Chains A and B, each alone.
Chain A
């Protein structure tokens, strides 16, 4: 036990009313500064005990009760409780929706990442570099082609420029419709 333990011991004494242990009491007999600090802490403990034990007096409690009763509305608010069956139905519906759309979203993410990987494999100086510039996800969605169609075009490296071929085929479709 030494002077470094003093703050912790004093704090416990003042605020938690825990008495100092035998080791500290022994140390105090040989240390004048700790002895003085201990005497001050005893007085501080008395003040804290006074604050704790002094109950503030509520004057005219009936008057306060009357005021409260006059101020409260006619009836308390009813807590909103969801029936158990409805809770279970909502839980089942949310699981079903998650499975349905979550799986679809997962498929789309996988396809997009595969396409991006394939686009990245095309060398910038190759004749597919135009496609690399234009075959962003936005262009794919604007061109209205399917993923499998684009995948086939990207793999077809011996053919013509796949994007121009695609544009030509789209224009042909429009003419046929007219």
Chain B
């Protein structure tokens, strides 16, 4: 293997940075085999500040009814919980309510949490299920007009790089892309392609089999790709 042929690309997610290392092996003049490996670096405050040993200690205190420790946990993890709920629901107020409901469930169920497993997937499962329940009570398939999605896309692209995105614009864009997907497809798409989780993490959170995740992701990507191309076409006409 020639080390000079190694290439890498970096994808920045909201809470993690994914580094993709790839190496292309030429098989014939017009065909090559691509080897790739993904590395994930967590960047969110929650995962940086709460080290595993501190988290274990905090959860131990919460189990004994320590409200101060629970408040610390809420302060640390409410942002990633909100991000996931917002992306599933596409609505700020609903996402806030879902986060509140999720943390109440976490407080109630902390006794059943297995401390040998990671906390974040367990928390994400509760948040995702709570958001999915809310999604069912909301209108199932939300169709946002393509003109509006294209407009918001332009606004988001033209903002200063340091300025945070407007929640409403983001909600329109996410709903425009994934709002029409059936529930399972939407969950798998948001977790895998927007949150950047691995297939195994998606299986744990959604409690779906590997095949079901693969199949739902395939159909979701197909629909989103078609929608993306329509939005881009509209964006070109506006510009």
Q: Which residues of A contact B (CB under 8 A)?
A: 1, 10-11, 14-19, 21-23, 26-27, 40, 43-44, 47-59, 61, 64-65, 67-69, 71-79
Residue-wise, chain B 6-36 has the 8 Å CB interface mask toward A (1 for contact) of 0101011111001010101010011110101
- Is there a chain A Cβ closer than 8 Å to B215's Cβ? no
- Whether A17 lies near B9 (C-beta < 8 A) is yes
How near does chain B come to A176, taking the closest CB pair, in angstroms?
67
For the residues of B in contact with A, the DSSP-based class is helix
- Is there a chain A Cβ closer than 8 Å to B40's Cβ? no
| Listed stretches B50-58, B120-128, B200-208, B226-234; interface member | B226-234
- Is there a chain A Cβ closer than 8 Å to B183's Cβ? no
How near does chain A come to B39, taking the closest CB pair, in angstroms?
13
Residue contacts A-B, CB under 8 angstroms, 10 given: A23-B30, A44-B225, A44-B232, A51-B174, A53-B13, A54-B14, A64-B96, A69-B71, A78-B111, A79-B112
Name the residue on A nearest B44 (C-beta).
Answer: A55
Q: Which residues of B contact A (CB under 8 A)?
A: 7, 9, 11-15, 18, 20, 22, 24, 26, 29-32, 34, 36, 62-63, 65, 67, 70-71, 74-75, 78-79, 82-83, 86-87, 92, 95-96, 99-100, 103-104, 107-112, 153, 156-157, 164-165, 167, 170-171, 173-174, 177, 193-194, 196, 221, 224-225, 228-229, 231-232
Chain A residues with CB below 8 A from B164, complex form = 54-55, 57
Count of inter-chain pairs, beta carbons less than 8 A: 155
- Whether A23 lies near B78 (C-beta < 8 A) is no
Q: Which of B34, B92, B99, B193 is the one whose CB lies under 8 Å from A15?
A: B193
Q: Which of A11, A43, A56, A71 is the one whose CB lies under 8 Å from B87?
A: A56
Known: A15-B193, A18-B36. A55 touches B14 (CB 8 A): yes
- Whether A65 lies near B74 (C-beta < 8 A) is yes
CA of A56 to CA of B62, assembled, Å: 28
CA of A16 to CA of B18, assembled, Å: 10
- Whether B99 lies near A76 (C-beta < 8 A) is no
CA of A81 to CA of B75, assembled, Å: 30
How near does chain A come to B3, taking the closest CB pair, in angstroms?
17
- Whether B62 lies near A76 (C-beta < 8 A) is yes
- Whether A17 lies near B112 (C-beta < 8 A) is no
Name the residue on B nearest A56 (C-beta).
Answer: B86
Q: Which of B31, B32, B78 is the one whose CB lies under 8 Å from A64?
A: B78
CA of A174 to CA of B14, assembled, Å: 89
How near does chain A come to B47, taking the closest CB pair, in angstroms?
14
CA of A76 to CA of B228, assembled, Å: 45
- Whether A68 lies near B103 (C-beta < 8 A) is yes
- Whether B107 lies near A11 (C-beta < 8 A) is no
